[in-house]
Amino acid sequence: PPFEARIDSTQNPQAPQPRAPNPGQPQVRPQESLKLIPGPNLNPLVKPVQTQTFEQRVPVPPTSVAARCGQREVNVEVKQNFLGNGELIRPSDLTLGGCAALDIDHHILRFQSDLHGCSSAIRMTEEDLIYSFSLLYYPAPIDNTFIFKTNPTEVVIECHYQRRLYVSSGAMMPTWKPFVTSTLAEQKLHFSVRLMTEDWQSQRSSSAYLLSDVINIEAAVDLGHHVPLRVFVDSCVATVSPDPNSQPRYPFINNHGCLSDTEVTGAKSYFMPRRREDKLHFQLRAFRFHNNQRNSVSYEPSSHLNAVCASLKYFPTEDMKLYITCNLKATQVSKPIDSQHKACSYLTEARRWVASGGDNKVCS
């Protein structure tokens, strides 16, 4: 609020001095005056601040690339409107890891490459095998100028393949079936199939395998009070259903004991030298069928003349299963090994079959 100030008239030392009053004239006293001086404004007006609305826009990537990962190759389709701006790119400016497009149809470029082709990169995680490809866009200058209207672009394409297989290490005891000995006495045998540790000393506790891992399998017959017996794996077949006759199927032990996986796939799968006649060890490389990303393996009991079939299961998931059905049989140790009772493996280096015990001629 304004405040009052008393102003007294005083002589200015620099002003000219008034003349001395005349004694004959009446004296006039100077009048005092008041003046209001405004004080500070404690409530100034504030101008409103005008704010500009701002909306952040997230760029939406164009859906111009589609990829399909197969078992052996990758197929990529790219719209010629690659950048999503309505401008068609030149096909020569776009490559898949340096590989040109196979063809172009309706403004769509098509690429195809093997998993190991077109400068692909591979890496592994605990769960997946990953193949990476780079879709490279390097624009050329416009016509004969040095002008570019777009920037180089790279799109990474990844194909993931699961690496794990799961195997149940629990041995299953098959159903009984009469086995007639040479003395015509009917006896019953206990067969078992177990997953073993690397040193073959105990049953394997883990049920997880990676592709190409070695699966140690033990086939055994319980002697009990029987005469000494020698066990054989007569046949094994892998299928995607419990029916061993269903398709697709992969018989990797056939011809009464020939382990043919090495001859067919080149993997090192073979029967081990026998330590005991009532047990037979063999190694199998973990595998899966061509159209399956995930697999499990299951040995199911079945019947065979004068033989007992064992079963063993191992599961990776419930939605995908790979069944392996094996027939086991046993003979007396005193009976010589022949073409109907053998355990043969294929040696890639020697290109011939060898027997795990007995003469190699039984494998021919």
Beta strand pairing call for 108-114 and 3-7: unpaired
pLDDT tens digit sequence for 180-225: 444 434 456 788 878 889 999 999 887 666 766 888 888 888 877 6
Place of tokens 């890639």: 348
d(CA 228, CA 226): 6
* Confidence at residue 231, expressed as pLDDT on a 0 to 100 scale: 92
Q: Which two tokens stand for residue 245?
A: 């006759």
* Confidence at residue 281, expressed as pLDDT on a 0 to 100 scale: 94
* Confidence at residue 57, expressed as pLDDT on a 0 to 100 scale: 54
Contact 188, 168 (CB under 8 A): no
pTM over 0.75: no
Higher pLDDT: 130 or 13? It is 130
Q: Could you state, in order of their start, the residue ranges of all structural domains in the chain?
A: 65-162, 165-363
d(CA 100, CA 110): 9
Q: Which CATH number fits domain 65-162: 2.60.40.3210, 3.90.1300.10, 3.40.50.10540, 1.10.3470.10?
A: 2.60.40.3210
- In CATH terms, the superfamily for domain 165-363 is Zona pellucida, ZP-C domain (2.60.40.4100)
Identity of residue 125: T
Higher pLDDT: 57 or 157? It is 157
Beta strand pairing call for 297-298 and 322-332: parallel
* Confidence at residue 321, expressed as pLDDT on a 0 to 100 scale: 60
Instruction: Classify 106 in phi/psi space as left (phi over 0), alpha (psi -120 to 50) or beta.
Output: left
212 has which bridge partners? none
* Confidence at residue 29, expressed as pLDDT on a 0 to 100 scale: 62
How confident is the model over 227-245, as a mean pLDDT?
86
pLDDT tens digit sequence for 44-76: 777 776 666 656 555 555 588 999 998 889 999
pLDDT tens digit sequence for 329-362: 999 998 999 999 999 999 888 889 999 887 889 9
Higher pLDDT: 233 or 35? It is 233
255, pLDDT greater than 70:
yes
37, pLDDT greater than 80:
no
d(CA 316, CA 253): 23
Mean pLDDT over all residues of the chain? Answer: 76
* Confidence at residue 173, expressed as pLDDT on a 0 to 100 scale: 52
Structure confidence at residue 35 as a pLDDT band (50, 70, 90): low
pLDDT tens digit sequence for 110-124: 999 999 999 999 898
